[in-house]
């Protein structure tokens, strides 16, 4: 009688780590020793448990997963990613996830490597120089923002001139305010070949998203709609693709601001403060 | 290299907690509903509820309990894991021996949906037939769909007989099998094709499974082992999720095939 897989996989952290490690690619004993920081005498009995359970097989001097091991690995990976995400910090569970579509919530474990960045209280209303610096040499940049952050304008223009692809989505009030204060710059941006500007309705449940080849950042509101000047960020490729997909989700629901004419629509309404509803597609 | 993950103990190492989490996936439940569903009395389940609340997986709202935001992120990942583990645990040696890559990848990822399976091995005198345990449900089915890469002597007679009883029969066969059928049983094949409740599809791709028979009552699959050998067996499941899975398997091969309307 074989022991149950749940015990094989979860009763020992060493075995779990081993399974997750071999799920990436086959590894030699040398690799395992270094990557898991273990001695052969400590890990060999665990490898034996996994091979006895037909999850791992030794082939050409290295260890790899069997077909069954591969299936077990996939299920363990997706659960462990979510557990890691929620045990690392409470950011995701204490903020409003309502702005994230279900198919991306299902893969929220992809964000497990994100770290929380808290604002320095003395600089809470200062331009976020860390973010600016981080994204300054991006090959492409996508920004969704419910905030008016004029300090980012030079970055957009600079990347635009450097022929990086820049795609921006602002909520209507943010765009309005930008146009009020920086009309020429925004007009210029919207006519550049490699930049795109879109607008979505106010009330988006995402505070801010920035993603580039360098990394990603996400910030959300709490369930009361409050914003705490904190954000989650990392440079892992899984997280980058996740945020790009979320950005694409919002882009597909936003109205593209193209050419002078459509900008005029937004500038003239900004004076009397009201938007014609028909201009905007509904977000949901 | 990895985190310790306190929650693993909480979600897996108590059947009461595990079953409660899975039950609450369907929405908020009162303590009475929980007691009835899990067949437990108040005080033991309350002890587990308190642990789940303390670990932030459950919240109490009025007189019912529901998954917290954290619970709602975690529990949907437990289900596919547990169903996959269960199917492997129940027939460990079988699944370890078979070449699982013979299944289309998207269905292999959902292999847990086969649910409770049992392996049937025919006795020696009936070595080329379907085991008697599935002949009865087979004849009581309304639709029968089979994908096959090998030839059973019983094929022409059995399927003609099922079709004659008004059962809808659809077959996906690899081309060599179809040719053999036409060569050896031309008349039966012709009769079969001309019936209104039958379909034959010819597949030019390799069907890597030995066979898969799915009806509105059960699924029965037969696989090739890792060393490329085959012994006559049927892995059978009667669960609803398994029938859906089997239908998708049939459709997968049917979509790779062309329908034959005359010989």
Report how far residue B103's alpha carbon sits from residue B101's, in angstroms, rounded to the nearest whole number.
5
For residues A106-128, average pLDDT: 85
Q: What is the pLDDT of residues B195-223, one digit of tens each?
A: 999 999 999 999 999 999 999 999 999 99
Indicate which of B73, B109, B223 best probes the interface with A, i.e. most A CBs within 10 Å of its own CB.
Answer: B73
Listed by start position, the domains of chain A span 5-79, 89-279
Task: State residue A127's pLDDT score.
Answer: 65
Q: Within a domain: residue B199? A: yes
Task: State residue B251's pLDDT score.
Answer: 97
Task: State residue A257's pLDDT score.
Answer: 85
Q: What is the ipTM of this complex?
A: 0.92
Using the predicted structure, report yes or no on whether residue B73 has a pLDDT greater than 50: yes
Determine, for residues B81 and A75 on separate chains, whether the beta-carbon distance falls below 8 Å: yes
Determine, for residues A37 and B1 on separate chains, whether the beta-carbon distance falls below 8 Å: yes
Determine, for residues A108 and B92 on separate chains, whether the beta-carbon distance falls below 8 Å: no
Determine, for residues B88 and A36 on separate chains, whether the beta-carbon distance falls below 8 Å: no
Instruction: Yes or no: say if B20 and B35 are a contact pair by the CB < 8 Å rule.
Output: no
Asked if B192 and B229 sit in the same domain, the reply is yes
Indicate which of A20, A51, A83, A106 best probes the interface with B, i.e. most B CBs within 10 Å of its own CB.
Answer: A83
Provide the pLDDT confidence category of residue A275 given band limits of 50, 70 and 90. Answer: very low
Q: Is A230 exposed, middle or buried (0-12, 13-18, 19+ CB in 10 A)?
A: middle
Determine how β-strand B198-203 pairs with β-strand A56-59. unpaired
Q: How many CB pairs under 8 A join A and B?
A: 94
Determine, for residues B1 and A17 on separate chains, whether the beta-carbon distance falls below 8 Å: yes
Q: What is the pLDDT of residues B107-131, one digit of tens each?
A: 999 999 999 999 998 877 766 678 8
Asked if B125 and B249 sit in the same domain, the reply is yes
Q: Which of B174, B199, B205, B229 is nearest to B104 (CA)?
A: B205
Indicate which of B85, B86, B109 best probes the interface with A, i.e. most A CBs within 10 Å of its own CB.
Answer: B85
Q: What is the DSSP string of chain B?
A: -----THHHHHHS-HHHHHHHHHHTTS-EEHHHHHHHHT--HHHHHHHHHHHHHTTSEEEETTEEEE-HHHHHHHHHHHHHHHHHHHHHHTHHHHHHB-GGGS-HHHHTTGGGG-SEEEE---GGGTTSPPHHHHHHHHT-SEEEEEESS--TTHHHHHHHHHHTT-EEEEEEEHHHHHHHHHHHHHHHHHHHTSTTEEEEEE-S---SSEEEEESS-EEEE--BTTS-----EEEE--HHHHHHHHHHHHHHHTTEEEES--
Determine, for residues A6 and B109 on separate chains, whether the beta-carbon distance falls below 8 Å: no
- Name B43's bridge partners: none
- Closest CA in chain B for residue A91: B70
Report how far residue A143's alpha carbon sits from residue A244's, in angstroms, rounded to the nearest whole number.
10
For residues B161-172, average pLDDT: 95
Instruction: Yes or no: say if A41 and A14 are a contact pair by the CB < 8 Å rule.
Output: no
Q: Kindly report the CATH number assigned to the domain that includes residue B214.
A: 3.30.870.10
b/e burial code for range A96-125 (CB count within 10 A of at least 16 → b): bbebbeeebeebbbbbbbbeebeeeeeeee
- Name chain B contacts of A86, Cβ cutoff 8 Å: 7, 70, 73-74
Task: State residue B104's pLDDT score.
Answer: 96
- Name chain B contacts of A93, Cβ cutoff 8 Å: 56, 68-70, 73
A89-279 placed in CATH 3.40.605.10: no
Asked if A102 reaches chain B (Cβ–Cβ under 8 Å), the answer is no
Using the predicted structure, report yes or no on whether residue A94 has a pLDDT greater than 60: yes
Asked if A86 reaches chain B (Cβ–Cβ under 8 Å), the answer is yes
Asked if B67 and B103 sit in the same domain, the reply is no
Using the predicted structure, report yes or no on whether residue A268 has a pLDDT greater than 70: no
Q: Within a domain: residue B2? A: no
For residues B165-194, average pLDDT: 92
Report how far residue A283's alpha carbon sits from residue B49's, in angstroms, rounded to the nearest whole number.
38
Using the predicted structure, report yes or no on whether residue A37 has a pLDDT greater than 90: yes
Asked if B116 and B237 sit in the same domain, the reply is yes
Average model confidence (pLDDT) for chain A? Answer: 89
Determine, for residues B80 and A37 on separate chains, whether the beta-carbon distance falls below 8 Å: no
Report how far residue B66's alpha carbon sits from residue A182's, in angstroms, rounded to the nearest whole number.
49
Domain boundaries, position B25: 7-79
Asked if B233 and B147 sit in the same domain, the reply is yes
Determine, for residues B85 and A4 on separate chains, whether the beta-carbon distance falls below 8 Å: yes
Interface of B with A (CB under 8 A): 1-8, 12-13, 56, 68-70, 73-74, 76-78, 80-82, 84-85, 88-89, 92-93, 95-96, 99-101, 108-109, 111, 226
The dihedral region occupied by A165, where left means phi > 0, alpha psi between -120 and 50, and beta the remainder, is: beta
Asked if B115 and B238 sit in the same domain, the reply is yes
Strand order in the sheet with B198-203: B117-120, B234-237, B219-222, B211-215, B143-148, B168-174, B198-203, B257-260
CA distances from B72 to A230, B26, B48 (A): 24, 10, 18
3-state helix, strand, coil in chain A (%, to 5): 50, 20, 30
Q: Within a domain: residue B84? A: no
Report how far residue A14's alpha carbon sits from residue A9's, in angstroms, rounded to the nearest whole number.
9
Task: State residue B101's pLDDT score.
Answer: 93
Tokens 């001139």 — which residue?
A161
* Min Cα separation B68/chain A (Å): 9
Write down the architecture of domain A5-79 according to CATH. Answer: Orthogonal Bundle (1.10)
Q: How many CB atoms lie within 10 A of CB A204?
A: 22
Farthest-apart Cα atoms in chain B, separation: 72
Which residue, B21, B50, B79, sits at the end of a domain? Answer: B79
For residues A155-173, average pLDDT: 90
């Amino acid at each position: 009688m074989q022991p149950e897989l749940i015990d094989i996989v979860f009763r020992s952290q060493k075995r779990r780590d081993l399974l997750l490690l071999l799920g990436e690619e086959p590894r030699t004993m040398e690799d395992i020793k270094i990557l898991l920081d273990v001695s052969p005498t400590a890990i060999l009995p665990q490898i034996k448990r996994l091979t006895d359970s037909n999850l791992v097989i030794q082939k050409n001097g290295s260890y790899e997963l069997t077909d069954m091991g591969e299936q077990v690995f996939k299920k363990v990976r997706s659960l462990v990613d979510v557990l890691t995400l929620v045990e690392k910090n409470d950011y995701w569970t204490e903020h409003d996830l309502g702005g994230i579509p279900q198919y991306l919530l299902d893969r929220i474990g992809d964000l497990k490597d994100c770290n929380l960045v808290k604002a320095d209280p003395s600089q809470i209303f200062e331009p976020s120089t860390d973010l600016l610096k981080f994204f300054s040499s991006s090959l492409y940049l996508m920004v969704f923002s419910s905030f008016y952050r004029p300090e980012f304008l030079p970055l957009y223009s600079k990347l635009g001139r450097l022929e990086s692809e820049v795609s921006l989505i602002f909520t209507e009030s943010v765009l309005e305010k930008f146009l009020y204060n920086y009309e020429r710059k925004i007009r210029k941006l919207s006519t550049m070949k490699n930049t795109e500007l879109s607008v979505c309705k106010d009330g988006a449940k995402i505070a801010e998203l920035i993603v580039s080849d360098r990394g990603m950042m996400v910030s959300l509101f709490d369930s009361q709609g409050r914003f705490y000047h904190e954000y989650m960020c990392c440079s892992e490729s899984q997280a980058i693709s996740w945020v790009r997909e979320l950005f694409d989700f919002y882009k597909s629901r936003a109205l593209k601001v193209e050419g002078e004419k459509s900008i005029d629509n937004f500038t003239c309404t900004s004076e009397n403060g009201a938007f014609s509803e028909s201009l905007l597609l509904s977000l949901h | 290299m990895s985190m310790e993950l306190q929650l693993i103990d909480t979600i897996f190492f108590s059947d009461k907690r595990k079953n409660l989490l899975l039950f609450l996936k369907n929405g908020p439940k009162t303590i009475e509903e929980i007691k009835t569903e899990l067949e437990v009395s108040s005080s033991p389940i309350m002890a587990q509820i308190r642990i789940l609340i303390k670990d932030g997986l459950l919240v109490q709202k009025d007189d019912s309990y529901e998954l917290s935001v954290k619970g709602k992120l975690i529990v949907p990942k437990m289900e596919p894991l547990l169903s996959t583990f269960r199917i492997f645990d129940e027939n460990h040696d079988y699944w370890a021996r078979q070449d699982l890559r013979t299944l289309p990848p998207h269905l292999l990822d959902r292999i847990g949906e086969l649910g409770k399976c049992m392996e049937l091995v025919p006795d020696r005198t009936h070595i080329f037939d379907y085991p008697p345990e599935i002949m009865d449900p087979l004849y009581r089915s309304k639709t029968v769909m089979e994908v096959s890469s090998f030839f059973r002597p019983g094929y022409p007679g059995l399927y003609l007989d099922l079709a004659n009883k008004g059962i809808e029969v659809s077959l996906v066969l690899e081309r060599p099998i179809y040719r053999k059928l036409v060569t050896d049983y031309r008349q039966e094949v012709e009769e079969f094709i001309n019936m209104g409740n039958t379909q034959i599809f010819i597949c030019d791709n390799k069907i890597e499974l030995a066979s898969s028979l799915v009806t509105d009552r059960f699924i029965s699959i037969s696989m090739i082992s890792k060393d490329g050998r085959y012994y006559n067996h049927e892995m059978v499941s009667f669960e609803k999720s398994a029938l859906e899975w089997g239908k998708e398997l049939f459709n997968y091969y049917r979509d790779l095939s062309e329908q034959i309307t005359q010989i």
